[in-house]
Amino acid sequence: MNWFRSMFVCSAALSLLAMAGVAFGADLPPDAEKSEVWQKVRKSYFEDRVIINDADGKVVALKAPTRAEDAATVPIQIKTGLSQTRDRYIQKLYLFIDANPSPVAAIFTFTPESGRADIDTRVRIEAYSHLRAVAEMNDGKLYMSTHYIKASGGCSAANGTLPDYADFKPKLKFKVDPNVEKGQPTLAQLLINHPNASPLVRDQISNLYQQAYYVRTVNVSYGGKLIMTADVDFSISENPNFRFYFMPQGEGELRAEVLDTRDVKVESFIKITPGSGST
Amino acid sequence: MRSIWNRKITQTITTLLVAMSGAVQAADGDFNLTEIVPGIFVHKGNTVYERTPANLADQANIGFIVGAQCVAVIDAGGSLPIGLKLKAAIKQTTDKPVCYVINSHVHPDHIFGDPAFKADGVIFVGHAQLAKAISARNTTYTNSLKRDLGDLAMGSELTPPTQTVKAGESLELDLGGRKINVQAWPLGHTDNDVTVWDEQTETLWLADLLFMEHVPAMDGSIPGWLKVIADVKKIPAKQVVPGHGPVSAPWPSAIAAEERYLTKVADGVRKALKDKKTIQEAIETVGWDEQEQWKEFENFHRRTVTATYAELEWEE
């Protein structure tokens, strides 16, 4: 019943795949540096700056499965190897997926108030691809970690059900560990109920592509100070989900603001009281 | 149980395949068929993961019910050649015409053989959500069948129903002196499952609401599926037909293993969420003690946990 794994394989992917120059079926992953897409992306985002290959993940490590069971929901973990301090911190994290129609899956911004610049999320992956996490330090240094994944059809996978866009209002939900300690990096999770619909899904009968509708930006602050922003697109899975850290220095509100491609803006907050658990 | 295994229909099939592609070697002329109770015939699919030109995507249990006037087909199989084999088997069994083709749900291993039965007066019956599901998946299913079967995939088509049943409702069909009931279920295994009840023999054709031997392949919602199972279990059937596994099984004991597995995944994911485990940690830890109990576990289980986690994290 191998149709089940391949039920999301879409012809729309094939031409893009050819463009991406991704090697198929090879036992050894293709050379990450030689990817044509990466060469283009690298040039437009980092020009000729040196990118340190952080194979050991000392600054940034990228964890993902080797083979995606569900290419529309691939868990990705970016773990960083340093605390965010005023003197030295990661100010940006880029997540690239070479084989996706839009290879820039996410750009995260962090501050010293983040505590740690770790991120967990779930992405769609269209074809066998290199994944890359590039960390940009406050001093401008760049570190990159790569991971090769076997996945196909994630971007052209139909959502289970699609809401009527005109009436749709995204919902947000925070999850925070109840034992919050002052001055300690604290894990938080933001769940966004949103179709995050990809434009690559084609309806066979109407012959039309699904109308894209996805979350564009996420801003999270604590006590009025920026913790994390995410500039994202439909490479993020349906019902986007982000795990990140913040460092509470006292009572405050953890607040999220989400804007989507139909300019719908939703906000949500949760009150945090270090020492006595969140409410 | 009168068995008519190994019914030879080689000639018909060979002729058809030669006409289609010339790939005679791909055809195994034997098409198993069992009359599980008077008038209900079930073909046992092969429960293997890989679809090949040799197996023709013959993966699901399919079959038909014979009335005094006409025949209802329940699922036409994973490809047109399988649909044609089923058609030939029906012809050898009865001289009554096919009046209904009931598509149990959208999955291609059950319904790609539909075009074998397209003719004037044949009504295709399915869930009210089936047409939408077919529309969304047709391209991907068709491409992957072509990839796996090559030319033998030609002519295989998912066929939208001409008569539908809404979730929670049922439709009575009269085959002439024999009434069968098509019942449509809410979101569970998929959002477009129907079952068929044969009044005369008290047989319940569950299709993929019941997986036996083969690990349940979840494409909807586990909490939903468990609710559906709770309702299905109230039906006082004498025997049931699973979508994968034996051609007939005792009721309700047949569904115990599936219910145990689905419950274990749902409970395990809920606990993982409570313990603040990530989706990856849940995939690695939940339900693995079931691995030895099922065929194809490796190919389906992680995906089931992934989908269940993504659903249940919204529960309060």
> Which position has the token pair 């019902």?
A239
Residue B59 has pLDDT above 90, yes or no: yes
pLDDT in tens, B1-28: 444 444 444 334 433 433 333 222 223 4
Confidence of residue A121 (pLDDT cuts 50, 70, 90): very high
End-to-end alpha-carbon separation of chain A, Å? 47
B52 touches chain A (CB under 8 A): no
Tell me what the mean pLDDT of segment A53-69 comes to.
92
pLDDT at B140: 80
pLDDT at B13: 42
Phi, psi of A166, deg, nearest 5:
-60, -35
* Interface contact flag, A204 B191, Cβ < 8 Å: no
Distance of residue A91 Cα from the nearest chain B Cα, in angstroms: 24
Which of B134, B139, B214, B276 best probes binding to A when mutated, by most A CB atoms within 10 angstroms?
Answer: B139
A166 touches chain B (CB under 8 A): no
As a whole number of Å, the CA-based R_g of chain A is 19
Distance of residue B24 Cα from the nearest chain A Cα, in angstroms: 23
Distance of residue B139 Cα from the nearest chain A Cα, in angstroms: 6
Tell me what the mean pLDDT of segment A73-96 comes to.
96
* Interface contact flag, B306 A70, Cβ < 8 Å: yes
Between CA B136 and CA A160 the distance in angstroms is 9
Among A8-22, A82-96, B48-62, B110-124, the minimum mean pLDDT is found in A8-22
* The two three-digit tokens of residue B6, written as one number: 């190994």
Task: Closest CB to B217: pick one of A4, A70, A201.
Answer: A4
Among A5-9, A11-15, A125-129, B107-111, the minimum mean pLDDT is found in A11-15
Distance of residue A261 Cα from the nearest chain B Cα, in angstroms: 23
B49 touches chain A (CB under 8 A): yes
pLDDT in tens, A187-222: 999 999 999 988 877 766 666 777 889 999 999 999
B145 touches chain A (CB under 8 A): yes
The Cβ-side half-sphere exposure at B277, using a 13 Å CA radius, reads 20
Residue A25 has pLDDT above 80, yes or no: no
Chain A hits for B134, CB-CB cut-off 8 Å, are: 204
Q: Which residues contact B280 (CB under 8 A, 6 or more apart)?
A: A63, A65, A75, A77
pLDDT at A147: 95
Q: What letter represents residue A137's amino acid?
A: M
Tell me what the mean pLDDT of segment A59-72 comes to.
90
Average pLDDT over all residues of chain B: 90
pLDDT at B224: 97
Confidence of residue A252 (pLDDT cuts 50, 70, 90): very high
Between CA A96 and CA A41 the distance in angstroms is 9
* The two three-digit tokens of residue A55, written as one number: 């194979």
Interface confidence: ipTM more than 0.85: no
Environment class of residue B172 by beta-carbon count within 10 Å: exposed (0-12), middle (13-18) or buried (19+)?
Answer: exposed
Helix (H) or strand (E) segment spanning residue A53: strand A51-53
pLDDT at A7: 42
Chain B hits for A122, CB-CB cut-off 8 Å, are: 279, 310
* Interface contact flag, A1 B217, Cβ < 8 Å: yes
For residue B120, give the 3-state DSSP assignment: coil
Report the number of secondary-structure helices (H) and strands (E) in chain B: 8, 14
CA distances to A65, A141, B76, B194 from A50, in Å: 28, 8, 60, 59
Report the candidate in B80, B72, B130 with the shortest Cα–Cα distance to residue B102. Answer: B72
Task: Closest CB to A7: pick one of B51, B137, B299.
Answer: B137
Tell me what the mean pLDDT of segment A177-189 comes to.
89
* Interface contact flag, B278 A75, Cβ < 8 Å: yes
Tell me which chain A residue has its CA closest to the CA of residue B129.
A161
Question: Residues 7 to 26 of A: which have CB under 8 A from any B CB?
Answer: 7-11
Higher pLDDT, A22 or B152: B152
Among A25-29, B36-40, B96-100, the minimum mean pLDDT is found in A25-29
- The side-by-side arrangement of strands in the sheet containing B194-198 is B170-174, B179-184, B194-198, B203-211, B239-244, B249-250
pLDDT at B225: 98
- Quote the pTM value: 0.80
Average pLDDT over all residues of chain A: 86
Tell me what the mean pLDDT of segment B133-159 comes to.
89
